[in-house]
Amino acid sequence: MLVAVLVPQLTGKVNYLVMGTGHGTTARETYEPGSILVSVPSPWFPIILENLGRMERVPHAWEIGRKAWLKEEGAIYENLIHDSGARH
């Protein structure tokens, strides 16, 4: 686990682990299997925090409900199909 956190600081690249794929965290039950631990280089922190500040707290689809979302999503796909010239 320590390596997962250090790699980004040493390489400048993002690193991630999927929990439940190794013995240590599974045996200790420290994370829910399937959870993803993402480690980023510290110089990225300001950019990430700025982007998080701009994100919607509740996804649009959750606010409008299932039926409205399906209608909206269908319209988006219809436009994409139309713009691509594909037939369906």
**Domain layout of the chain by residue ranges:** 1-55, 57-88
For position 77, what pLDDT does the model report? 93
Give the position of tokens 């299997």. Answer: 33
pLDDT for residue 29: 84
Give the residue-averaged pLDDT of 36-57: 90
Q: What is the mean pLDDT of residues 19-30?
A: 82
pLDDT confidence of residue 88: 59
Count the alpha carbons within 13 Å of 44 in the hemisphere toward its beta carbon.
14
Question: Dihedral of CA 44/45/51/56: which sign?
Answer: positive
Structure-derived torsion over alpha carbons of residues 18, 22, 25, 28, reported in degrees to the nearest 10:
150
What is the distance between the alpha carbons of residues 77 and 64, in angstroms, rounded to a whole number?
18
Give the percent of the chain with pLDDT over 90.
39
Residue 1 has pLDDT above 70, yes or no: no
